[in-house]
Amino acid sequence: MYFQYYLMGIILLPGLILATIAQIKVSKSFSAFSKVTASCGKTAAEVARMLLDQKGLNDISVIKTNGHLTDYYDSKKKVIALSSSVYNSSSIAAIGVAAHEVGHAYQYAEKYVPIKIRQAVIPIANFASTMLWPLVVLGLIFNFAVFPGNIVGDVLLWCGIAVFGLSVLVNLATLPVEYNASNRAIKTLQLTNTLTQEELNGAKQVLKSAALTYFASLVISMLNLLRFLLVFARFRSDD
């Protein structure tokens, strides 16, 4: 029995290793190219503003937010928030990150289908995670400590499967959105001659490293779902 629990923990290990590698790659690539100043001489905030204006997205503000690589686009507030290490920087890395966030603004403006799917799934997943986690814990208690194999426990464990399943769905919806935003960023920087070809290669490395973190999140969510399914199967086999 204890071996089964160890196995369930080991299942998650490849995802954790991948996530660690992805984070190291992001840190290394951003650190390396944050030291290389782009020949255009513009700051990341200026580039973001320029790219937004070219698409007629004058209603979107570019602001500074605290933290390191905490950049995001808020479609409701119409705000692109650039982190302290990005906003005033003229580095290749900073401009690549800023262009990526502008890529998200383009997606919303063009009603890009995957981002609509992601926008619809995330609130459902957040609600499910909040509401169902207590039921998941109760399901484990019912099956393990009180009434092994009972119907109530099974139903509650199915709630857990739903939580992890929705997490996988969110990450599946997120992956194409993030890759597309990065592709838009590189294409736009190239078309506007904001970065030279050599500088674009550096920006690509930064954005590819960042994209790997989203892939790692997907892998971890899938392994978590598998792990919970194994827990469920083990309790059912004890029935």
* pLDDT tens-digit series, residues 22-32: 999 999 999 99
Residue 147 pLDDT grade (very low, low, confident, very high; cuts 50, 70, 90): very low
Q: Is residue 9's pLDDT more than 90?
A: no
Determine the length of the chain.
239
**223 vs 168: CA distance, rounded Å:** 9
Per-residue confidence band for 130, with pLDDT thresholds at 50, 70 and 90: confident
Joined tokens for residue 210 = 């960042």
Which helix (DSSP H) or strand (DSSP E) does residue 65 occupy? Answer: strand 61-65
Catalytic residue among 46, 101, 178, 199: 101
25: containing domain: 2-237
Is 101 marked active-site?
Answer: yes
Burial 113-148 (b: 16+ CB within 10 A, else e): ebbebbeebeeebeebbeebeebbebbbebbeeeee
SS3 91: strand
The answer, as to whether pTM is greater than 0.85, is no
How far is residue 62's CA from residue 105's CA, in Å, rounded to a whole number? 11
Q: Please state the domain count of the chain.
A: 1
- Residue 206 and residue 38 in contact, taking contact as beta carbons nearer than 8 Å: no
The pLDDT of residue 148: 47
Q: How many CB atoms lie within 10 A of CB 223?
A: 20
Residue-wise over 177-190: b if at least 16 C-beta within 10 A, else e? bbbbbbebbbebbe
Residue 176: pLDDT band (50, 70, 90) is very high
DSSP code for 195? S
